[in-house]
């Protein structure tokens, strides 16, 4: 009888662990999707100011770009940049936009391999 109770307790514990693991992995996927959406919103409104092919001098971002940047986790956006994103943008310009818009990347931060 005692071994039957232990087996059902072990099975219940295993099922609980599996449910917990599924909940954690699903929330990680959702967080990743949300960050990708935030990055895409920023690129939609600010790409013209951070494009790699822009000539100097630095273009002052418009209010809509700054409004979006102020509401974002700019470090997390750095972490979300893909190789395709990095091929089309200038990280120094991105850092400048975050600074001008009032949500600067901190000094010493690593943004997609570039230290601020």
Going from N- to C-terminal start, the domains of the chain cover 34-115
The whole-angstrom separation of Cα 37 and Cα 14 is 35
Among 83, 95, 89, 86, which residue's Cα sits nearest to residue 54? 89
Question: What does each of the 116 residues of the chain score in pLDDT, given as a tens digit?
Answer: 556 666 666 666 555 545 544 444 444 444 456 878 899 999 999 999 999 987 777 888 999 999 999 999 999 999 999 999 999 999 999 999 999 999 999 999 999 998 98
Q: What pTM value is reported for the model?
A: 0.70
- pLDDT for res 58: 80
- pLDDT for res 46: 95
Topology adopted by domain 34-115? Hydrophobic Seed Protein (1.10.110)
């Amino acid at each position: 009888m005692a071994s039957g109770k232990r087996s059902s307790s072990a099975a219940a514990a295993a099922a609980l662990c599996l449910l917990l693991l599924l909940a954690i992995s699903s929330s990680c996927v959702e967080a990743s999707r949300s960050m990708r959406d935030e990055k895409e919103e920023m690129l939609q409104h600010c790409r013209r100011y951070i494009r790699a092919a822009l000539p100097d001098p630095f273009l002052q971002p418009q209010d809509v770009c700054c409004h979006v940047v102020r509401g974002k986790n700019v470090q997390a956006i750095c972490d979300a940049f893909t190789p395709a994103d990095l091929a089309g943008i200038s990280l120094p310009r991105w850092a400048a936009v975050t600074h001008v818009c009032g949500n600067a990347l901190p000094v010493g931060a690593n943004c997609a391999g570039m230290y601020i």
